[in-house]
Structure 1
Amino acid sequence: MIRLNDFKGRKILIVGRPCSGKTSLGKQLSETTGINLFDLDDIYWEKGWRRPDDATFKENLKQVLELEEWIIAGNYLQTLAFRMHYCSDIIILNCTWYKAVYRYFRRIVMRACKKERNTSYSGWYREFNIKFFFKKIVFYYKFYHQFNEAINKSSDCVKIHRY
């Protein structure tokens, strides 16, 4: 259970395996604290899942990071060190791969049936993607070690919460 009194500040990163509950937890924290939630997919992707150039993404991200308070949910290993320079706390969600697989397919089905509508991305969503599935869900352990290395380098500046 997350206790807000344990937090060092009001700039919170939430990271973890895809489908680990980053956005859901971010929404709950945002409602509880009144701090705005930003999903990295919203900051990164352009409509239709088009990639922006690196400079545009970094500038969009920097605008959010320079706000007085925020909750940012998402991974994007290539910007983790940059984001950690600004954050006070990082929440790491540890989720088993089989739970993530279940949640991934549930998300696809719920979105296809329109029973779950992600208000992010202006109503568009990502359908099943086999490359994403294997790279991000099944073989996440490769990224997990890289995340831990990056996080451990900044552990003296940032309060780390593992769930």
Structure 2
Amino acid sequence: MSSEQTTLIPPLRGDGHGKYRILLLGNSGSGKTTLGKELALILGLPFVSMDTLAWLPGWRMSSSEELRTKLIAIMTDAKDGWVIDGSYQSKIGTLVQDQSTDIIWLDPPLALYFPRICYRTLLRLLRLAPPCSPGCDEDYREVFFSRDSILWWSLSRHWLVRKKESAMLKEDGIHVGGKRRRIGGWGSELEAWKRSVREMVRIGTAD
């Protein structure tokens, strides 16, 4: 696909009838939740954080059946579309991916988002920022002395996520007529894409 053809691709594909079911993917700390809330506001759609849905108080994980039941109910109720961040594919398979009209892979440099997740984790440790899910407060021992640390998880999975999503992009990317889009770089690419989404909504509203 030529660069000229690429510029003609809308920022969101949708279902062809003005409805958008958007799944945001990326490593921990890559900005999924922040973008998800912003997109939901722009599009007037409900936002669903998979972390909040999956984790129960005391860091108890919902079972696969519980998580699937919650998600199906939410997606069925949100008839005009939704924005969901996170995969949890080991728990729910491709349930959300199959239902989505657009899959956005956030792939910023590790040097950009790792300091950001460190800062967020510090705020959560100090109880200055809300936990990822109610009743799931961060613990110093878990953060600094455990293999389950969110910081270790983010570091260790950066290249694994990039390898997996790169392969999926080749098969189902917008450049081959699919629904996956990669947004990388240090921020300018993401800002440009969000502007194009706002413009798409503005033109659609005007029409």
Q: Output the TM-score relative to the length of structure 1.
A: 0.80
Match of 2:60, SS state, is coil
Q: Return the letter of the residue paired with 1:93.
A: L
Q: Aligned-pair distance for 1:159?
A: 4.8
Provide the C-alpha distance between the structure 2 equivalents of 1:48 and 1:57, rounded to a whole number of angstroms. 17
Q: Aligned-pair distance for 1:65?
A: 3.0
Q: Aligned-pair distance for 1:50?
A: 0.4
Alignment of 1:42-61 (within 5 A): 42-61=52-71
Query: What is residue 137 of structure 1 aligned with on the other side?
Result: 155
| Correspondence 1:72 to 2:84 | yes
Cα 1:153–1:57 shift into 2, 3 Å: farther
Gaps of 5+ in 2: 1-9, 15-19, 185-207
Higher relative contact order (CA 8 A, sep 6+): 1
Q: Output the TM-score relative to the length of structure 2.
A: 0.65
Q: Aligned-pair distance for 1:63?
A: 2.0
Q: Return the letter of the residue paired with 1:49.
A: W
Runs (4+) of structure 1 moved beyond 6 Å? none
Number of equivalent positions: 158
Residues 45, 82 of structure 2: 8 Å contact kept: yes
Gaps of 5+ in 1: none
Percent identity between matched residues is 20
User: Whose Rg is larger?
Assistant: 2
Q: Aligned-pair distance for 1:53?
A: 1.8
Q: Return the letter of the residue paired with 1:160.
A: R
Q: Aligned-pair distance for 1:11?
A: 0.5
Provide the C-alpha distance between the structure 1 equivalents of 2:118 and 2:96, rounded to a whole number of angstroms. 30
Q: Aligned-pair distance for 1:157?
A: 4.7
Provide the C-alpha distance between the structure 2 equivalents of 1:80 and 1:150, rounded to a whole number of angstroms. 15
Aligned residues: CA RMSD? 2.4
Alignment of 1:12-161 (within 5 A): 12-66=22-76, 67-68=78-79, 69-78=81-90, 79=92, 81-118=94-131, 121-122=133-134, 124-127=136-139, 128=143, 130-131=146-147, 132=149, 133-155=151-173, 156-161=177-182
Provide the C-alpha distance between the structure 1 equivalents of 2:152 and 2:97, rounded to a whole number of angstroms. 27
Cα 1:65–1:137 shift into 2, 3 Å: farther
